[in-house]
Chain A
């Protein structure tokens, strides 16, 4: 007699686990809407890498024209196609960062290396890394580490943010990398504060005691025990910060200290066109809509995700 034994179901693979985790997003209507808004701009940016209706930087048309079959969103003050520029404007925010080189005449030249991931993404990753390292050290080590890091972070938070951006740009000039650095430096204190509070909570858990009893080093405990357990809230916070970073890029572009022309940058597009707003509104409304829809999408996505994670944790 043979006994039939039920074959245990194989645990899901890495991709399966990813899908299961990602499914959390779709349980939230808010997160789903946000995700699609963000995806819309990512797709628009990806398409713009290979195709736009017209060259975004070429002054090929009459200036300040309204919508037409040729220029769906009209043209700007330099006779460039607004639709193409709005599409291409996504690239530098979400998809690519231009790394400058030093030329033999001693000045920065056109970037000859492009890094995947936009300025907003790298800026937030920078602030996430810097803020997490500082916050974990402050929260876990305590004592003078906590005092010193917290005081510096509080001072930076108290400093008007836009002034901080301008100080960094005034010191280092403009460019994608400078913008990444500015976003990293100004975003780090907020993340450090969050990481610190999470570390203060997590370090009282039993598994931390166990790790300490095993004789693990402080660095190991911070990055192998505490960080993975704090990652959820940190990532949700970072998501929101991508939205802030996009606002920042737009604001600095509007103030004339953003990314260097002629590559499209939504903030600069608004600033350059506002002188002509009595003639045509398209060159202002289109990038303004792009900024607001992308930021709202990111906020909705982050909010929905936070709700789901919180519910899941309960």
Chain B
């Protein structure tokens, strides 16, 4: 491990790092926040960890999330994974399901990689540098990396991929995420064969993390848009067999560029087989030893295999969430008293216990999770039936509508939403509402998720709140809610504070602003967030060195089988 470096040396890496280190020493930020911040500004993860030993700062020792062991890695063996394999995979930039990205991830790689401890490190990049105002980023590429068809990875490849992400015709969600490039490929500049510079329209610290977003796999220059026809990437595996809805088989590359810490060749596994199984079947298959793990087990699955022989389990805090959301452009939720009354009917601990078996963090109606950097701890609101009833009586008196107010709560039934809905109904019926539940299978809800007036929608994990808020709680340039703004809530003060937070480098100041965002959401956003999900992992104990990803990414290049 590297030794600590002086503040002056930190300054040379980036002028903002010494200040953050001072804040760490004074206990004003956590060790994890310092490491994340310093690595984002170009310090190597090893050095950042060395500068922030676990006994410093807040005293918080964060689990790095690895389900690793200290054994000697063994070579060989196929890992079998249960996962839905019927998702369409064409252009990786268009991926909208993690399952599809888990296949692509084995063949293609990202420029960066965010590790389970939320520390982002270079992957296809050698390093990066940000200028003092973090509106110019210089990306240095690794030399000598070859795609699995023998073609080289270089600056032209990176420019090609930015071109795909920023091309509206491709339809990638990266276009919104990279909003600081204004959709202008001219802001991506080739410096030399191994250097690319990003000239941002506004300061942004999350650039390296954004380059690990799941649709940002690097494809070969000239990629035609169909991954199944052209499964060409720099990753450790190649696509051998693809039968959607049945199986996907990948085989190890013998010429993969990546090396383990001791310099030995990767990957350790001979290959990967994804088998199309639903969750119930996966539980039995894992217990029977027919598969080695499966995608995103539910709490019920974790409970079912609790204590089972040869199965290792782990749970990570995430920002995955089921959002109780109301459309504020439709009666009766166009009245803040009505939607705040609904929010007061959440018995948060009970909802967490019944919908997610208690495995998660309580929420306070802000779509910013404790697992995300800059989250500001807030008091969790109590169930308040009397307060809700008072609001409804006031609304009833003002509008002349009688109580109970009949409303229909729409949601799906595969991710704890049905349980959430039933507990909420029980409380809302005591507070001047008459709730009818309309619970369908997942497809039945996704057909109308942004249309219903009162619903519960599942949102997946995103490492940063700055990756989510632009998707769901802002308006476009014309002032209309963006396509995924399911509540149609657009609040000028909220957007102003958000933009200020995105450009604030001081960690404490940033947390204060994010706290303000949380307060605004609690006070006047038409959403209820009673809990954030803990996402679990179940593994056959013979599988070793598996990083526990909060977003259920399978990162398998250093995984090995003990037998």
Digitize A23-64: 1 where CB-to-B-CB distance is under 8 Å, 0 elsewhere.
Answer: 000000000000000000000000000000000011100010
Residue A204 at the chain B interface, CB threshold 8 Å: no
CB of B441 within 8 A of CB of A105, answer no
Of all chain A residues, the one with the shortest Cβ separation from B332 is: A105
The reply on B462 being an interface residue by CB < 8 A is no
- Cα A108 to Cα B453 in complex, Å, equals 13
Let me know if B418 is at the binding interface, CB within 8 A.
Answer: yes
B406 touching A274, Cβ below 8 Å: no
Chain A residues, Cβ within 8 Å of B332: 105
B31 to chain A minimum Cβ distance, whole angstroms, is 37
Q: Is A174 an interface residue (CB 8 A)?
A: yes
State in angstroms the CA–CA spacing of A256 and B417 once bound together. 13
Set of chain A residues within 8 Å of B453, measured between Cβ atoms:
105, 107
Distance to closest chain A CB from B432 (angstroms): 13
Are B330 and A105 interface neighbours, CB within 8 A?
yes
Q: Measured between C-beta atoms, what is the minimum distance from B309 to chain A in Å?
A: 14
The answer, yes or no, to whether A78 is at the interface (CB within 8 Å) is yes
Stretch at the interface among A8-16, A238-246, A275-283: A275-283
A117 CB, min distance to chain B CBs, angstroms: 22
Q: Is A262 among interface residues, defined by CB-CB distance under 8 A? A: yes
Q: How far is B408's CA from A101's CA once the two chains are assembled, in angstroms?
A: 12
Q: Give the docked Cα–Cα distance between A110 and B429 (Å).
A: 11
Interface size on A, residues (CB 8 A): 28
Task: Tell me the dominant secondary structure on chain B's binding face.
Answer: mixed
- The verdict on A232 contacting chain B, using a C-beta distance below 8 Å, is no
User: Are the C-beta atoms of B441 and A256 separated by less than 8 Å?
Assistant: yes
| Contact residue among B280, B437, B439 (Cβ-Cβ distance under 8 Å from A274) | B280
Task: Give the CA-CA distance A272 to B434 in the complex, in Å.
Answer: 23
B440 within 8 Å of A (CB atoms): yes
Query: Quick one: which of A101, A110, A256, A276 contacts B413, CB cutoff 8 A?
Result: A256
B436 at interface, CB cutoff 8 A:
yes
Assess whether B303 is in contact with A108, with CB atoms less than 8 Å apart: no
* CB-CB under 8 A for A260 and B354, given A77-B300, A276-B303: no
Say whether A59 contacts B426, CB under 8 Å: yes
Measured CB to CB, the nearest residue on chain A to B423 is: A59
Q: Bound complex: CA of A276 vs CA of B440, how far in Å?
A: 20
Say whether B544 faces chain A, with CB atoms less than 8 Å apart.
no
Residues of A within 8 A of B421 (CB): 261
A residues in contact with B413, CB < 8 Å:
256
Chain B positions within 8 Å of A213 at CB level: none
| B156 to A: closest C-beta gap in Å | 50
Nearest A residue (CB) for B436: A110
Query: Which residues of A sit under 8 angstroms from B441, Cβ to Cβ?
Result: 256-257
CA distance A58 to B350 in the complex (A): 12
Beta-carbon contact of A278 and B423 below 8 Å: no
B420 to chain A, nearest CB (A): 10
Q: Which residues of A contact B437 (CB under 8 A)?
A: 260-262
Q: How far is the CA of A103 from the CA of B298 in the complex (A)?
A: 36
| A278: nearest chain-B partner, CB-CB | B304
Given contacts A78-B422, A256-B413, A108 and B436 within 8 Å (CB-CB): yes
Tell whether B425 is near chain A: CB-to-CB under 8 Å: yes
Pairwise interchain contact A276-B300, C-beta atoms closer than 8 A = yes
Q: Would you list which residues of chain A between 237 and 265 have a CB under 8 Å from chain B?
A: 256-257, 260-262
A109 at the interface (CB under 8 A from B): yes
Q: Is the CB of B408 within 8 A of A275?
A: no
- What class of interface size applies to chain B in its complex with A? 20 to 34
Closest Cβ–Cβ distance, residue B302 to chain A (whole Å): 11
Q: Complex Cα distance A274/B436, Å? A: 24
Q: How far is the CB of A57 from chain B (nearest CB, A)?
A: 7
Q: Is A233 an interface residue (CB 8 A)?
A: no
Interface string of B297-308 (1 = CB under 8 A from A): 010110111000
A108 to B437, CA, bound (A): 10
* Contact of B422 with A279 in the complex, beta carbons under 8 Å: no
**A101 / chain B contacts, CB cutoff of 8 Å:** 406
Q: How far is the CB of A190 from chain B (nearest CB, A)?
A: 28
A131 to B528, CA, bound (A): 49
Chain B nearest CB from A105 CB (Å) reads: 6
Interface residue? B111 (CB, 8 A): no
Q: Is the CB of B438 closer than 8 A to any CB of chain A? A: yes
B35 at the interface (CB under 8 A from A): no
Interface: B435 (CB within 8 A) = yes
Q: Are B354 and A107 in contact (CB under 8 A)?
A: no
Chain A residues positioned under 8 Å from B169 (CB to CB): none
A109 touches B419 (CB 8 A): no
Q: How far is the CA of A100 from the CA of B353 in the complex (A)?
A: 32
* Nearest residue, chain A, Cβ from B406: A109
Chain A hits for B419, CB < 8 A: 77-78
Nearest 3 CB-CB pairings of A with B: A109-B406, A275-B300, A278-B304
Query: Could you list 6 further interchain pairs (A-B, Cβ under 8 angstroms) beyond the known A63-B353, A77-B300, A110-B435?
Result: A109-B408, A174-B438, A260-B438, A275-B304, A276-B303, A278-B303
Interface residues of B (CB under 8 A from A): 280, 298, 300-301, 303-305, 330-332, 350, 353-354, 357, 406-408, 413, 418-419, 421-423, 425-426, 434-441, 453
Give A residues with C-beta under 8 Å from B: 57-59, 63, 77-79, 100-101, 103, 105, 107-110, 173-174, 256-257, 260-262, 272, 274-276, 278-279
- 25 of the cross-chain contacts (CB-CB < 8 Å) are A77-B354, A77-B419, A78-B423, A105-B331, A105-B332, A107-B436, A107-B438, A107-B453, A108-B408, A108-B436, A108-B438, A109-B407, A174-B440, A256-B439, A260-B437, A260-B438, A260-B439, A261-B418, A261-B421, A261-B422, A262-B425, A275-B300, A276-B303, A278-B303, A279-B303
